[in-house]
Structure 1
């Protein structure tokens, strides 16, 4: 989706970068209207062409090329989970293109310095597929436990459907890419304002981890959404949007 040309220049487009499970942004897109939003699927997702190599360097280059094609000189960047890792990577590589950075339910590095940790993680994450499950079965079993009880069923179904529709090859490549990430030591280089959003009950990117990120970034604030897990934008959309709007209103004009 191209940015709305009638929106004031002071509000640059918000770029949404989804996690490994695919995009489930419909409620957020509606809440942000009429602000311009670009929902960018990771290569290989949502019918897009996969990259020859799935790496953070290649993903950041692909995102830069998309911004150039859309004529977007400067943007606000929001990334969820591995999308947050990509947002962080992009902001470090191309700081002049990012007005504000939102790192959501993410970490600055893949855990574990021992290569055996990564291999164990991959084996566990890919075990259902290796055992013969398809992506629809994987989605049904893995998404619901990450959402707090009481999450609207329509939101749950959107998240499940996003992962179910992901090609297995893209999922496998993205999971492997995740294990290569480490930008922890470069957090002090972030020159733009940063908002970190954490779910209070998120086991994958807990508030204490995101608080350490906040402490390492020169201009950062942290919003913790009570009771939420890994999909706070679905579990508490009102709280999520309120934190996001408050952050964006405080940013300098583009």
Structure 2
């Protein structure tokens, strides 16, 4: 079941925002961001197959994720939406944006290895190999270090413990199946395929992709903007949800039709 918050005020507000989580996560990862978003947006988050309330569903292919996103979008009507994806969820969003550009107002990819290089595929494959050899739970500490800055981990031990407890409950087979889809997803979508405004956000110290590559994409393509949070890694949704909400709002506002902005200033 999707988690949503309807826009306050006018019937349309500033449009709908659909949030898509990544692997080893659930729709709840977006709670902090959604709570900090202005009421003018209709915000919707949902669990991908094999995750959260749908964790018992088998995952046979990447298309199951894209079909789930299309279903969430269909429930919002015919107006274009803002798509926001994190990690694996970003790859799902990018695939939909390539295939159905008229349905997307903006595309925002957080900690997502968009337009990946061969080196990024190799790094992801190496991590998968370690998990397969040593086991998922034996790699929990290493995963924590990939996601969170040392300062955040030191100051928020309860948050880290809760996240690790969630991971311990995951079925290792499902995690590996999803991660294989994550790294096997070919670059069917690249920057040249996307004509809508694209926002790339990540921690400046994020692991798994090259932030300098994102900067090069933004330099080459006028529709792409990138923003990197100093001192942070892949876990930006946990470390700075309010800041992300603010930056998303500014990006959406810059690319909203004037008619949608009137009455919400």
Report the TM-score range of the alignment, normalised by the length of the smaller protein: 0.7 to 0.9
Please list, as runs of the form range in 1=range in 2, the aligned pairs for 1:118-133 lying within 5 A after superposition. Answer: 120-129=126-135
Matched, 1:221 2:225: yes
Task: Confirm or deny: 8 A CA contact 1:17 1:84 kept in the other structure.
Answer: yes
Corresponding residue SS for 1:172: helix
Cα drift, residue 121 of structure 1: 4.5
Distance in 2 separating the partners of 1:118 and 1:242: 30
Corresponding residue SS for 2:107: strand
Match of 2:64 among 58, 76, 91: 58
Structure 1-normalised TM-score?
0.82
Distance in 2 separating the partners of 1:85 and 1:178: 8
Cα drift, residue 13 of structure 1: 2.2
Structure 2-normalised TM-score?
0.79
Match of 1:79 among 85, 94, 104: 85
Cα drift, residue 140 of structure 1: 5.0
Distance 1:21-1:216 versus aligned 2 partners, 3 A rule? farther
| Equivalent residues, number | 248
Q: Does 43-52 or 86-95 show the bigger shift?
A: 43-52
Corresponding residue SS for 2:118: coil
Distance 1:66-1:226 versus aligned 2 partners, 3 A rule? same
Match of 2:106 among 87, 100, 108: 100
Corresponding residue SS for 1:39: strand
Unpaired runs of at least 5, structure 2:
261-265
Task: Confirm or deny: 8 A CA contact 2:87 2:111 kept in the other structure.
Answer: yes
User: Partner residue of 1:26?
Assistant: 31
Corresponding residue SS for 1:201: coil
Matched, 1:246 2:250: yes
Distance in 2 separating the partners of 1:42 and 1:190: 23
